[in-house]
Chains A and B, each alone.
Chain A
Amino acid sequence: AQSVTQPDIHITVSEGASLELRCNYSYGATPYLFWYVQSPGQGLQLLLKYFSGDTLVQGIKGFEAEFKRSQSSFNLRKPSVHWSDAAEYFCAVDPYSTDSWGKLQFGAGTQVVVTP
């Protein structure tokens, strides 16, 4: 079955430390891949996306993600976390099939807590 998995429900990281959030997908072909962030009481903001080409993608707020076809993964990273990065992060997939019409399948999310 097609799925998007975020193995970590909750991550605690110290301010200034690096952060990596994992995302694995299970689809027949390489889908379109996205990372969104949701701050408390807010909507979802697009951090970055991957369609094709360079497997290292730069996004907003200092985030980057690396697509690894062999591992069916699209992990999100940030070298140095700021307190304002505390939020929930969602990996999302668009299968880009003829019947998907752009709908997204989301992972369960990873809650990031930043400690002083």
Chain B
Amino acid sequence: DSGVTQTPKHLITATGQRVTLRCSPRSGDLSVYWYQQSLDQGLQFLIQYYNGEERAKGNILERFSAQQFPDLHSELNLSSLELGDSALYFCASSAKTVNYGYTFGSGTRLTVV
């Protein structure tokens, strides 16, 4: 157990729907990162939050959004889902903004049908 908890582990939904992925960071970590892993794009950075504030954005679609709550858990919202959004979504956390080595969660596998 890495200490980073992601729920749900699996999600199957239809095109056009909206889903929310949840991440609880390791105790004491203030930074949360979201990554998408797909067969064609590999591992892609989506977005980072630090202590509730957005700090960096990567290849995140406008249909996707995220937030980090006061208790430091984070949610990634994916809307108007398309077949191509099917992927593994990973959350990672670290103590600060500088990367001393992330701890990754086990991921949420999203299947859009």
Chain A residues close to B by CB (< 8 Å) = 32, 34, 36, 42-46, 49, 51, 90, 94, 96, 99-109
With A43-B2, A108-B42 known as contacts, the answer to whether A102 contacts B99 (CB < 8 A) is yes
Please pick, from B33, B35, B99, B101, the residue contacting A96 in the complex, using a CB distance under 8 A. Answer: B99
In the complex, chain B residues 91-113 whose Cβ is within 8 Å of any chain A Cβ: 92, 94, 96-107
With A90-B43, A96-B98, A108-B42 known as contacts, the answer to whether A101 contacts B55 (CB < 8 A) is yes
Classify the secondary structure of B's interface with A. Answer: strand
Give how many B residues have a beta carbon under 8 Å from the other chain's beta carbons.
29
Q: Are B97 and A104 in contact (CB under 8 A)?
A: no
Chain B residues close to A by CB (< 8 Å) = 2, 4, 31, 33, 35, 42-45, 48, 50, 55-56, 58, 90, 92, 94, 96-107
Q: Are A45 and B104 in contact (CB under 8 A)?
A: yes
Closest to A48 in B: B101
Q: Are A49 and B101 in contact (CB under 8 A)?
A: yes
Q: Are B90 and A44 in contact (CB under 8 A)?
A: yes
Please pick, from A32, A101, A106, the residue contacting B50 in the complex, using a CB distance under 8 A. Answer: A101
Q: Are A94 and B99 in contact (CB under 8 A)?
A: yes
- Complex alpha-carbon distance, A36 and B99, angstroms: 14
Given contacts A34-B101, A107-B42, 7 further A-B contacts (CB under 8 A): A49-B101, A51-B100, A94-B99, A102-B56, A104-B35, A104-B99, A105-B45
> What A residues does B33 contact at CB under 8 A?
102-104
Q: Are B45 and A43 in contact (CB under 8 A)?
A: no
Sample of 15 A–B contacts (CB below 8 Å) = A34-B101, A43-B106, A43-B107, A44-B104, A46-B101, A49-B101, A94-B99, A101-B50, A102-B48, A102-B94, A102-B98, A102-B102, A103-B33, A103-B99, A104-B45
